[in-house]
């Protein structure tokens, strides 16, 4: 994939547009810019009046998407959506009309052979959204105890064979440390029986767990859900698309317990059959929307 291209398809795009209702003059934050699909659709409806602020932890995504969206009222920022108050302050904006979070992994990151996000490629086992911060997954596997690895894989991947996998990882690193996505996938597949009920690759949950741990994803989401309401004008909306229960549960609880939120979607919105056929990765997506309560 060329650096100036994107293969990511925005999920639940029509529903996001309907709920965030972008109109001329509005300021909307796309906290997970990715390939810019949602940002483009939102920006096109501003008719040149208003602003989309696109934020992403992945510097490659920010650079690529800034070029793709050139000419539209989109400001691309390298950073974390949990730091939105500070980002808005730097941009001279007090509050916004809407925030979108499309959580998880983009198709562009999966297609990058040098990041290790996909076990379809035998690339370096990195898994960081921002390669300039933190440590790669391979280093995590080198230094953590079997117990700590098992806890990560069980808690963040909901993998029932977590202890078996962790034990195998520790045994393997004594002679041949895991350095690539392919090596990790092969090891996990030897530890986890393939289910007859699903086509899910046995390595999927372990990769998810390590990616969440390396990027501190759930902690950042928790911080954001606490901080974002104060960035919204009264009546402003936040839309969150999650892809697994660990994320969705946090969004649901935050919307219910924080009195600054007014829930607009009693149940999560799911993609219809037509969208799933067009984009199979949308199958597990859940959209929840809330509104900033009046002051």
Give the domain-ending residue among 216, 239, 256.
216
Which pLDDT value is given to residue 1? Answer: 44
- What's the mean pLDDT in 28-40? 95
Query: Are 118 and 209 in the same domain?
Result: yes
CATH of the domain at 137: 1.10.150.170
- What's the mean pLDDT in 39-43? 96
Instruction: Measure the CA angle with vertex 204, ends 199 and 206; round to 5°.
Output: 145
Query: Are 223 and 181 in the same domain?
Result: no
Query: Are 209 and 130 in the same domain?
Result: yes
At 201, list the tokens. 């690759």
8 occurs within a structural domain: no
- What's the mean pLDDT in 84-112? 91
Query: Are 55 and 187 in the same domain?
Result: no
Lowest mean pLDDT among 37-51, 192-206, 277-291: 192-206
Query: Are 173 and 267 in the same domain?
Result: no
| Rg value, the chain, Cα | 19
Q: Which helix (H) or strand (E) holds 53?
A: strand 51-56
Instruction: Measure the CA angle with vertex 270, ends 266 and 275; round to 5°.
Output: 155
Q: pTM surpassing 0.85?
A: yes
Q: Does position 110 have pLDDT exceeding 80, yes or no?
A: no
Q: Contact 102/32 with Cβ under 8 angstroms?
A: yes
137 occurs within a structural domain: yes
Structural domain including 236 reads 13-108+218-292
Query: Are 229 and 212 in the same domain?
Result: no
Q: Which helix (H) or strand (E) holds 237?
A: strand 232-242
Give the domain-ending residue among 190, 216, 242.
216
Q: pLDDT digit string (tens) for 158-172?
A: 999 999 999 999 999
Query: Are 212 and 222 in the same domain?
Result: no
Phi and psi (nearest 5°) for 170? -65, -40
6 occurs within a structural domain: no
Q: Does position 3 have pLDDT exceeding 60, yes or no?
A: no
Query: Are 164 and 284 in the same domain?
Result: no
Which pLDDT value is given to residue 4? Answer: 56
At 40, list the tokens. 């483009």
Query: Are 265 and 222 in the same domain?
Result: yes
Residue 95 exposed, middle or buried by CB count within 10 Å (0-12, 13-18, 19+):
middle
Query: Are 185 and 223 in the same domain?
Result: no
Residue 117 exposed, middle or buried by CB count within 10 Å (0-12, 13-18, 19+):
buried
CATH of the domain at 237: 3.40.50.150
Counting the structural domains of the chain, the total is 2
């Amino acid at each position: 994939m060329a650096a100036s291209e994107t293969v990511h398809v925005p999920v639940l795009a029509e529903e996001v547009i309907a709920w965030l209702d972008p109109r001329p003059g509005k300021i909307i934050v796309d906290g997970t810019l990715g390939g810019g699909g949602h940002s483009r659709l939102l920006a096109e409806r501003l008719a040149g009046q208003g602003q989309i602020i696109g934020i992403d932890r992945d510097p490659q995504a920010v650079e690529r998407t800034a070029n793709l969206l050139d000419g539209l009222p989109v400001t691309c920022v390298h950073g974390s959506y949990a730091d939105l108050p500070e980002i808005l302050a730097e941009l001279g904006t007090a509050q916004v009309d809407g925030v979108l979070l499309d959580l998880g992994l983009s198709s562009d990151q999966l297609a990058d052979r040098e990041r290790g996000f996909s076990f379809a490629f035998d690339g370096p086992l990195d898994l960081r959204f921002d390669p300039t911060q933190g440590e790669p997954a391979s280093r995590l596997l080198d230094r953590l105890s079997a117990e700590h690895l098992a806890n990560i894989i069980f808690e963040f991947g909901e993998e029932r064979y977590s202890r078996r996998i962790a034990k195998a990882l520790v045994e393997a690193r004594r002679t041949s440390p895991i350095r690539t996505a392919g090596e990790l996938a092969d090891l996990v597949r030897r530890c986890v029986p393939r289910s007859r009920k699903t086509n899910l690759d046995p390595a999927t949950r372990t990769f998810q767990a390590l990616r969440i741990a390396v990027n501190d994803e759930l902690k950042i989401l928790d911080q954001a859900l606490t901080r974002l309401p104060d960035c919204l004008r009264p009546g402003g909306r936040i839309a969150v698309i999650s892809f697994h229960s660990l994320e969705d549960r946090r969004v649901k609880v935050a919307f219910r317990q924080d009195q600054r939120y007014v829930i607009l979607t009693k149940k999560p919105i799911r993609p219809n059959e037509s969208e799933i056929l067009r984009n199979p990765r949308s199958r597990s997506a859940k959209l929840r929307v809330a509104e900033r309560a009046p002051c």
